[in-house]
């Protein structure tokens, strides 16, 4: 139990510190609101003066957007609830081993799907494959997208496992056009992380890219909330038309 408490305490402290690093004015109150608890409670947890249950730890991990594999590693440290005696159920050691292997595979698939949605560069690589002069070389991809070679190799492995990419007989990466991502079972915290990364990339573009390579607009309106769904529909319609036009002709 002590190991479980230390693990969740360390993760919460790391998450709070990372948020403070990005935004020095980020407060403990804001962190507590994100977790859905009081600032006094999270203060005691961060300082090791209060223990939490596995159920509460799972809720915090979900709100922080921790990937399923990492979450499972931490939650496995918490003691399991006592249930009825398992003797006489006919479950063999081999059956348990097979079940555990299936669980590991499922968790890996969940973690890969989470990373695919949450980390922008997976879609970056999928679109880079479609451009003129693309090279199936992790070092070239890393340089092109401003990533580490290790990040690229991990992303390529995920994209291959999830069948978004395939390797040709010539050793080149090609997109699998039949692979589609839907909105079903997409964890909202993965999408929140993705939105945060794209906002960060937009800010970086504003500082680093020449004006002929970027375009920003902003406006303020007095909004009638009754039109919200229609406005969202208009944005979706625009982005679909935008993508169709953007991808016509030579992609550089």
- Is 217 domain-assigned? no
Q: What is the pLDDT of residue 90?
A: 43
Q: What is the pLDDT of residue 108?
A: 54
Residue by residue, pLDDT tens for the chain (252 residues) are 678 888 888 889 888 888 888 788 889 999 999 889 998 998 998 888 889 888 888 888 888 878 777 888 888 888 876 544 444 444 444 443 444 454 455 555 566 777 788 889 999 999 999 999 999 999 999 999 999 999 999 999 989 988 899 999 999 999 987 555 544 444 567 777 888 889 999 999 999 999 999 999 999 999 999 999 999 999 999 999 998 999 899 998
- Is 18 domain-assigned? yes
CA-based R_g, the chain, Å = 23
- Is 166 domain-assigned? no
pTM of whole model > 0.75?
no
Q: Three-state SS for 166?
A: strand
Phi, psi at 166, each rounded to 5°: -140, 160
Q: Structurally, how many domains does the chain consist of?
A: 1
- For residue 166, list its beta bridge partners: 174
- Is 185 domain-assigned? no
In this structure, how many other beta carbons lie within 10 angstroms of the beta carbon of residue 120? 17
- Is 172 domain-assigned? no
Q: What is the pLDDT of residue 241?
A: 94
- Is 54 domain-assigned? yes
Q: What is the pLDDT of residue 228?
A: 93
Closest CA to 115 of 76, 154, 145: 154
- Is 22 domain-assigned? yes
- Is 46 domain-assigned? yes
Contact by Cβ (8 Å): 9, 46: yes
Q: What is the pLDDT of residue 199?
A: 92
Place of tokens 């999928």: 126
Give residue-wise pLDDT tens across range 6-56: 888 888 988 888 888 878 888 999 999 988 999 899 899 888 888 988 888
Closest CA to 200 of 119, 125, 112: 119
* Greatest distance between any 2 Cα atoms in the chain: 72
Contact by Cβ (8 Å): 101, 147: no
| CATH number of the domain within which 75 lies | 1.10.260
DSSP 169-211: TTS-EEE-TT----STT--HHHHHHHHHHHHHHHHHHHHHS-G
Task: Give counts: helices (H), strands (E), the chain.
Answer: 11, 2
Q: Three-state SS for 165?
A: strand
Which residues, 6 or more positions from 59, have their beta carbon under 8 angstroms from its beta carbon? 35, 36
Could you list the residue range(s) of the whole structural domain that residue 19 is in?
1-79
Output the CA torsion sign for 182, 188, 191, 195.
positive
Q: What is the pLDDT of residue 161?
A: 87
């Amino acid at each position: 139990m002590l190991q479980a408490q230390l693990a969740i305490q360390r993760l919460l402290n790391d998450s709070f510190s990372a948020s403070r690093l990005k935004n020095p004015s980020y407060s403990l109150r804001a962190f507590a609101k994100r977790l859905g608890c009081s600032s006094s409670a999270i203060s005691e947890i961060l300082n090791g003066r209060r223990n939490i249950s596995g159920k509460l730890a799972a809720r915090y991990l979900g709100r922080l957007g921790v990937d399923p594999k990492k979450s499972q590693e931490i939650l496995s440290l918490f003691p399991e609830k006592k249930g009825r005696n398992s003797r006489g159920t006919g479950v063999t050691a081999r059956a348990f081993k097979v079940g555990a292997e299936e669980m590991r595979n499922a968790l890996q698939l969940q973690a890969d799907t989470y990373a695919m949605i949450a980390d922008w560069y997976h879609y970056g690589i999928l679109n880079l494959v479609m451009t003129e002069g693309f090279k199936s070389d992790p070092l070239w991809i890393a340089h092109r997208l401003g990533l580490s070679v290790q990040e690229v190799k991990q992303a390529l492995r995920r994209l291959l496992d999830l069948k978004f990419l395939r390797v040709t007989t010539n050793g080149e990466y090609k997109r699998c056009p039949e692979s589609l991502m839907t909105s079903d079972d997409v964890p909202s915290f993965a999408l929140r992380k993705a939105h945060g990364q794209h906002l960060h990339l937009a800010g970086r573009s504003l500082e680093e890219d020449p004006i002929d390579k970027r375009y920003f607009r902003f406006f303020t309106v007095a909004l009638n909330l009754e039109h919200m769904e229609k406005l969202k529909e208009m944005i979706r319609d625009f982005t679909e038309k935008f993508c169709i036009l953007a991808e016509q002709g030579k992609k550089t």
